[in-house]
Amino acid sequence: MKLAFSTLGVPGLPLPHVLALATEHGYHGVELRAHPEEPVHLGLTPGERADVAAAFGDAGVEVLGVAGYARVAAPGEDEPVLDEMRELVDLAGDIGASYVRVFPGAGEEQDSEVADAAAARRLGAVAAHAADRGVRVLLETHDSHRTGADACRVVGAVGHGSVGVLWDVMHTWLGGEQPGETYAAISPYLGYVQVKDIAGDGDTVPLPLGGGVLPLGECVEVLSRAGWDGWLCWEYEARWYDGIPALPELLGAGRDYVGRLLNESA
């Protein structure tokens, strides 16, 4: 398995510094948060996109994915959601990213079947464009669809290889799924896995990997036993919390922790 980290852990950090952290600490790739406050976002010009791709190539670091904020199950018209997803796919294709992350985002009062149908319809509508750009659009296990079973109701209905699932281990655990149950549900659709750690159900402040309660060892064991050899991406949500340790000072220990888990599961 290959290891990446998300720029959510280093909000606003210039790209050369992000790449320096990846190479210094032995990370194979980076997940780029696509937001106007970040150096990589939807407003980049073609030339700027080419520069991003070149910077990653020169550093020998992969662009794992573009973490977008489109909400595919949200109430409302389809077209604004489709436009945002197409823009994310184009950004990913231009900078050499393999994946685009989208959220479910169904409304609290929304009927679940209606939300599932909207998400499947919208994802299906961009699937061919994603395939043309060599990109997979991944529905993250998050918010209204936090379990693997939830995500598979949508992605299974799409039935296209360019649409899959991003497994956020915190949300599936908070949703009551064990790692083996999640993997059994999403294995036909799995793009990559976001790892993180927290103190407990009522305390989701980010902790260093291995410092909390999430079943990271079990997740890695399940993936290894199945012969899955994809990406683990550390999403340390520093953007949303003040006063926590900075990700750069944790990256080395995080890499070593994941390495131990991989050795133990081999």
- Length of the chain equals 266
Residues 35, 116: Cα–Cα separation, whole Å = 26
- Name the β-bridge partners of 189: none
The helix or strand, by DSSP H or E, that contains position 210, with its residue range, turns out to be none
Q: How confident is the model at residue 266 (pLDDT cuts 50, 70, 90)?
A: confident
The token pair at 207 is 């902790």
Average pLDDT of the chain?
Answer: 97
pLDDT digits (tens, 9 = 90+) for 206-236: 999 999 999 999 999 999 999 999 999 999 9
Residues 87, 257: Cα–Cα separation, whole Å = 36
**Which residue in 238, 203, 218, 123 sits closest to 169, CA to CA?**
218
- In a 13 Å sphere around the CA of 149, the CA atoms on its Cβ side amount to 9
pLDDT number for residue 242 = 93
What CATH number does the domain located at 2-265 have? 3.20.20.150
- In a 13 Å sphere around the CA of 10, the CA atoms on its Cβ side amount to 24
pLDDT above 90 for 257? yes
For 41-44, the CB contacts below 8 A with 24+ separation are: 41/91, 42/87, 42/88, 42/91, 44/91, 44/94
pLDDT number for residue 40 = 98
Measured CA to CA in angstroms, residue 29 lies from 40, 55, 62 at distances of 15, 12, 4
Contact 215, 27 (CB under 8 A): no
Q: What is the DSSP letter of 213?
A: S
pLDDT digits (tens, 9 = 90+) for 110-157: 999 999 999 999 999 999 999 999 999 999 999 999 999 999 999 999
pLDDT above 90 for 58? yes
DSSP per-residue string spanning 150-197: HHHHHHHHH--TTEEEEEEHHHHHHTT--HHHHHHHHTTTEEEEEE--
pTM of the model: 0.98
Q: How far is CA 179 from the centre of its chain?
A: 17
Who contacts 214 (Cβ-Cβ below 8 Å, separation ≥6)?
Answer: 169, 170, 173, 195, 196, 197, 198
End-to-end CA distance of the chain: 11
- Segment 36-57 shows an average pLDDT of 98
pLDDT digits (tens, 9 = 90+) for 172-189: 999 999 999 999 999 999
pLDDT number for residue 200 = 95
